[in-house]
Amino acid sequence: MVTYIKTWFLGPRVEWSELHRAKFRYLLPTLLLVLAGVLLLVSCTKPYWSMTLFAPQYPKGLTVTAYLTHLTGDVQEIDGLNHYIGMAPLEKGGQFERSTAIGMIIVLACLLGAAILVHTRWAALLALPALIFPLLFLADLQFWLYHFGNHLDKHAALSSAIKPFTPVVLGPGKVGQFKTIASAQMGLHLAACASVVLIVALFFHRRAYKPLFDARKQAAGKSEG
């Protein structure tokens, strides 16, 4: 079992002579995987998303900004407006996601670290969660926006004045007499950059280690023959 893991999961080890001969070839995917992990970790400290709501009584707009772990901005004011149409407070959305976000990002970074040691196609599988994380973030956010807009309290003061709706996760939108603009922020940009870096890293990872894997497979076939 241990031999199987070493052979088909971890893949071939690079001889010192080969590593010395082509340092950059093997170092580049490692550096790129590390960079992607660092970008994800740094993104935790930055805002990921924001939405500005423009109302007649607020011509300059009210803005809520979402970090991975909390919300900032005009949250109370927006909740006050939403209360009249029966929308739940914003803090009630994504509570589990916010409570586990830091641990989740650390796990993604650790998986990228593990991918450095794996010289087979399994490295791509380890990198996949971090690669699609920005899309998962937006999908989860869109789910909560849908939930808020389509589960209005029928007993609210202005419940009859507005029909269920789905705010857009990015770009301009309109809810009754209110206009909204939603946009990605620095944290999400960093996570997206990490995804791009990962795609490049996996390309160079394959270019570096697939020839070694193929050579070992070919040698094993000859020995069996």
- The answer to whether position 36 is within a domain reads yes
- The answer to whether position 224 is within a domain reads no
- The answer to whether position 16 is within a domain reads no
Asked if residue 211 has pLDDT above 90, the reply is no
What's the pLDDT at 156? 76
Provide the 3-class DSSP secondary structure of residue 113.
helix
Q: What mean pLDDT do residues 94-108 have?
A: 96
What's the pLDDT at 210? 80
Both tokens of 77, joined, read 């004011």
* More confident of the two residues 23 and 33: 33
- The answer to whether position 1 is within a domain reads no
- Domain of 82 in residue numbering reads as 25-216
What's the pLDDT at 5? 55
Most distant CA atoms of the chain, gap in Å: 82
The mean pLDDT value of the chain amounts to: 86
* Sequence-ordered strand ranges (E) for the chain: 49-55, 58-66, 71-73, 171-175, 178-184
- Distance separating alpha carbons of residues 225 and 222, to the nearest angstrom: 5
Asked if residue 104 has pLDDT above 70, the reply is yes
How many structural domains comprise the chain?
1
- The answer to whether position 151 is within a domain reads yes
Do residues 123 and 188 lie in contact, with contact meaning Cβ atoms separated by under 8 Å?
no
User: What percent of the chain shows pLDDT beyond 70?
Assistant: 84
What's the pLDDT at 214? 63
- The answer to whether position 95 is within a domain reads yes
- The answer to whether position 8 is within a domain reads no
What's the pLDDT at 125? 93
What's the pLDDT at 215? 63
| The model's pTM | 0.87
- What are the tens digits of pLDDT across the range 123-180? 999 999 999 999 999 999 999 999 998 888 788 777 677 788 888 999 998 876 788 9
What's the pLDDT at 164? 81
* More confident of the two residues 175 and 206: 206
- The answer to whether position 29 is within a domain reads yes
Asked if residue 182 has pLDDT above 90, the reply is yes
Asked if residue 219 has pLDDT above 60, the reply is no
Q: Which residue has the tokens 């939403």?
A: 82
Asked if residue 220 has pLDDT above 60, the reply is no
- What are the tens digits of pLDDT across the range 44-83? 999 999 999 988 888 889 999 999 999 999 999 989 888 8
- Distance separating alpha carbons of residues 106 and 116, to the nearest angstrom: 16
Q: Give the Å distances, CA to CA, from 194 to 10, 74, 96, 131, 200.
A: 23, 30, 24, 7, 10
